[in-house]
Amino acid sequence: MKELDRLVAEVGSARISRRQFVRRALALGLSATAVGSVLAACGGEQEGGQATPTATLDETKPEKLILFNWSDYIPLSVCEEFTTRTGIPVSVTHYDNNEALLAKLRAGSRGYDLCFPGDYMVSVLFKSGLLEPLRMDLIPNFQNVASGMQKPKFDPEEDGNKYSVPYQWGTTGIAVRTDLYASDVTSWSALWDPANENDIQMLDDERETMGAALKLLGYSLNTTDQGELDQAVEKLIEQKPLVRAYTNANVARPVLSGVPLVHIFDGDARRAMDELGVDKVAYVLPAEGFSMWTDNVCIPVEGNSVYWAHKFIDMLCEPEIAAAVTNYTQYLSPIPDATPMLDEVLQAATPPEDVLASGEGILDLGEFNRQYAEGWQKVRAS
């Protein structure tokens, strides 16, 4: 491959940085493992495989830092704190789901300084050459992240680089308006019960909603068995006449407006509980199993300032800032030292280990991701 040979020559002669080599090589279709092998052959790695920074980042302050984030997912006070410290204004642009984030970046949208992809999407993005490798020397507060979340499966550092820092984590289940729905809910089957027609709202999320059907059928969220996936697609098509709407925007709103059964992220359920009271809203993790996810902060390629994006990430890892984020979002924090500063309900919100044992993370399935996308399109078009 002539283009790869040229890149190897350029990184070997220091005409491009190792970071630029990784991004371009991944974009050419090389696996992360292959890229790491080429870099190792070029030399210049630190012990443990972490690539040695070879280029000094430009510290010039940009006109503003632009965050590409889920809606209503960071408090204004945190953005203002960064501006107070640095003089750099922060603006936020929104997307509705991981696939929308991927589509935007793949289409060539640039200028975003930070994005907040879910676990499996981190893997898809860095393999697509759309993320900057992180300079961990610029994120000293990463030491505050829970040890079990520092090296997740979706960001395994195969090429000697890290691409993500955990931002929030949580679970996906069912919010039940107990004042409007009399039966006990313990299973995903409640969302397929014909008696609940027009009383159901589902997430507009390819992997989460397909995942709910897979769990109902007794399968993994990450199945690569086409027969199992086809069954899930048919199950969702069967369910569709019962569903009032599919949405990812402000998922607490349908609970507040009176939808009895809502497929929901845990933080949105807690927001609804705050407004209506725990006597009117319950959050259920179905017995068949559920999604357990991590949203992360990453640096897309070609932002306004890679240096100041790192500084923002480092600030997010401070316990006080992490607590402010979690008290706002009502999800769960990856920073253990933030716990004493959380609201009382959130301090007790983490499910016990025996419950979490039924959770499953959503993984990047490589080429099989396309089968999920096609299946979801079939559901939405039905």
Q: Three-state SS across the chain?
A: CHHHHHHHHHHHCCCCCHHHHHHHHHHCCCCHHHHHHHHHHHCCECCCCCECCCCCCCCCCCCCEEEEEECCCCCHHHHHHHHHHHCCCEEEEEECCHHHHHHHHHCCCCCCCEECCEHHHHHHHHHCCCECCCCHHHCHHHHHCCHHHCCCCCCCCCCCCCCCEEEEEEEEEEEEECCCCCCCCCCHHHHHCHHHCCCEEECCCHHHHHHHHHHHCCCCCCCCCHHHHHHHHHHHHHHHHHEEEECCCCCHHHHHHCCCEEEEEHHHHHHHHHHHCCCCEEEECCCCCEEEEEEEEECECCCCCHHHHHHHHHHHCCHHHHHHHHHHHCCECCCHHHHHHCCHHHHCCCCCHHHHCCEECCCCCHHHHHHHHHHHHHHHHC
Q: What residue spans define the domains of the chain?
A: 1-164+298-317, 170-292+357-381
Q: What percent of the chain has pLDDT over 90?
A: 82
Q: Residue 44: its pLDDT value, please?
A: 44
Yes or no: say if 65 and 88 are a contact pair by the CB < 8 Å rule: yes
The answer to whether residue 381 scores a pLDDT higher than 90 is yes
Q: Name the residue among 35, 21, 23, 101 with its Cα closest to residue 68.
A: 101
Q: Per residue in 65-105, pLDDT tens?
A: 999 999 999 999 999 999 999 999 999 999 989 999 999 99
Q: Residue 20: its pLDDT value, please?
A: 59
Q: Which fold has domain 170-292+357-381?
A: D-Maltodextrin-Binding Protein; domain 2 (3.40.190)
State how far the Cα of 264 lies from the Cα of 247, in Å rounded to an integer: 10
The answer to whether residue 19 scores a pLDDT higher than 80 is no
Q: Name the residue among 379, 377, 289 with its Cα closest to residue 99.
A: 377
Question: Does the fold of domain 170-292+357-381 match that of domain 1-164+298-317?
Answer: yes
Region 187-214: mean pLDDT is 97
Region 317-337: mean pLDDT is 98
Query: Confidence class of residue 174 from pLDDT cuts 50, 70 and 90?
Result: very high
Query: Confidence class of residue 158 from pLDDT cuts 50, 70 and 90?
Result: confident
Residue, of 8 and 32, whose pLDDT is higher: 8
The answer to whether residue 240 scores a pLDDT higher than 90 is yes
Residue, of 24 and 164, whose pLDDT is higher: 164
Tell me if the pTM is above 0.75. Answer: yes
Region 283-304: mean pLDDT is 96
Q: Residue 3: its pLDDT value, please?
A: 58
Q: Residue 250: its pLDDT value, please?
A: 83
State how far the Cα of 48 lies from the Cα of 44, in Å rounded to an integer: 12
Query: Confidence class of residue 280 from pLDDT cuts 50, 70 and 90?
Result: very high
The answer to whether residue 2 scores a pLDDT higher than 60 is no
Share the mean pLDDT of the chain: 90
The answer to whether residue 52 scores a pLDDT higher than 50 is no
Region 7-12: mean pLDDT is 61
Domain spanning 1-164+298-317: CATH superfamily: Periplasmic binding protein-like II (3.40.190.10)
Residue, of 118 and 53, whose pLDDT is higher: 118
